[in-house]
Amino acid sequence: MIINCTKKLQEQLKIKPDVVEGDNPLLSWHGNLLIVNRRKTLVLVNDKNRYTIVLHGLKAKDFNKIDDVILHSIQYMFEQEGIQKDVIEQYIDSAREITFSKTKDRKLIARMNRACETLYYFETLLDSDTIFQPTLSLKLSRDLVGDGKKDYFYANEAMYKDLEEFTGKPTFQTKALEMKITLRLQSRNVFRKLIVPMYITFSEFHHVIQTAFGWQDSHLHEFYDFSNQKSNRALNPHHFAYNEEGYKPIANLVCHPEAFNHGDNSLPKKLDHTVLLSEYMPANVTYVYDFGDNWIHDIKVQRVMEDYDKNYPTCIEGEGNTPPEDVGGEGGYEVFLEIMEDVNHPDYKQMYAWSREQGFEDFDIKMVNRRLKDFE
C-alpha cells in the first residue's frame, strides 16, 4: 500500500520519500497532517474512491509505529461499516507492506484538501478519548463528491463497490433481524417493520427507531430486554417493563449514567451504547421514549436473516403517523387529532402551525428509507 504524504506529514514522519507509482489506486491513499483543537490529526483519502479516514490526537508513540496505526485504522473503519470479515482480511493482507511516497497528482491533492476543509465543519464530532474517529470518518465518507466530469457519487458507496470487485466477494453479508415495532396506543395502529443489522449497539438502534418513527430525539429513552421465561410479577399494561406475553424483564438499558441512581433498581442496568443487539435479541424488547409523554414501543423479532446484504437498516412496511413531540401523551394526542380533523375549530390554525414546528408529518416509507440509508 502507498501513502502519498504532504510535506507536513513527511516532516512529522522524518522521511524524504521519492515518488512511488502503484498499479492499484484502491491500495493508495493521500495523507495530510493537520492541527485541530491543538492536536495532531491525520487525514487519509483513498485515491480510487475518496473514502476518508481521520485519526486525531496522534502522539510520538503513534507516529513511531504509523504503519500499524494506519492498517488498524482501515480495519477498524471497515469493521464499523459492517463489511464482512473475509473482505477486510483480504484487503489488509494486500496492504500490509506500506510505502511512503510524495504526493504526485494535483487532482488527488485537491480532493484530499477538500476532505480536510470539510473536516473543520464537523470537528465537533471528534472524540478526544481515542485516536480513531469513526463518527467523523463516516460523515466525511458520506459526503457527495464530484468526479470532475459533472457527475457525483458517494465515497462510501464507491468503496463498497471497489472492495467487491477487488476481492470477488460480497462486501456485506451479515446477520440481521426482521422486526415489527409497534407504538403502544389503545385506539391507533402505528407500527414499522424494519430489517436491522445485529452488530449495532442499542444506542444506534435508538437512532434507527427515531428515524423510522420520525421522532425528534429531544428526550431521554431506555430499553427493557426480556427473557423467554414467564414472569410471576403482574404488571400494569402501561408499565415500561410490561410484555403482553408475560415474559420476564431481565435488563434495563439506559442512555445516561444518571439513570443508575433513579427508577426501578430491581433489574440490572447497563448503558445502551455498550451493548450490541446480538447480546439480547431476538428476544422481545421494549423501547421507551420521553418519560413525560411515555411513548412505549413493543419490539418483536419475526425472523433472523443470515445474509443481509446492506450495512444500514431498511423499512419494509409501516402504518400510522407518529404523534407530535410534547403533545401530552396518548390523551393529548387524541385531543390534537380532534382539532386537526376540524378546520373550523378555533384552535385549528394554531395547532396546525405548532405541529409543523414539531415535525409532525404523514408516514412516508420512501423518505424513511432515504434517511435510514444515511444511518451512522
Model pLDDT for residues 289-331, shown as the tens digit of each residue: 999 999 999 999 999 999 999 999 999 999 999 999 999 999 9
Query: Above 70 in pLDDT, residue 148?
Result: no
Quick one: pLDDT at residue 19? 82
Please compute the mean of the pLDDT values over residues 186-207 and round it to a whole number: 95
What is the reported pLDDT for 237?
Answer: 75
Average pLDDT score over residue span 164-186: 95
Q: Does 376 have pLDDT greater than 70?
A: no
- Residue 234: what pLDDT? 66
40, 12 contact by CB (below 8 A): yes
- Percent of the chain at pLDDT > 90 equals 80
Kindly state the average pLDDT of the residues 25-46. Answer: 97
Question: How confident is the model at residue 259, as a pLDDT?
Answer: 87
**222 has pLDDT over 70:** yes
Length of the chain: 376
48-52 average pLDDT score: 96
Mean pLDDT of 251-269: 87
Mean pLDDT of 95-104: 93
The stretch 328-341 carries a mean pLDDT of 94
Q: How far apart are CA 10 and CA 14, in angstroms?
A: 6
> Does 16 have pLDDT greater than 70?
yes
The whole-chain average pLDDT of the chain stands at: 93
Q: Which residues contact 133 (CB under 8 A, 6 or more apart)?
A: 54, 55, 56, 125, 126, 127
List of residues 6+ apart from 101 with CB closer than 8 A? 2, 3, 4, 5, 17, 18, 19, 20
Question: Does 241 have pLDDT greater than 70?
Answer: yes
* Res 185: pLDDT: 94
114, three cell numbers: 477538500
Q: Average pLDDT for residues 196-206, to the nearest whole number?
A: 95
CA angle 116, 118, 119 (to 5 degrees): 65
**Mean pLDDT to the nearest integer, 139-167:** 90
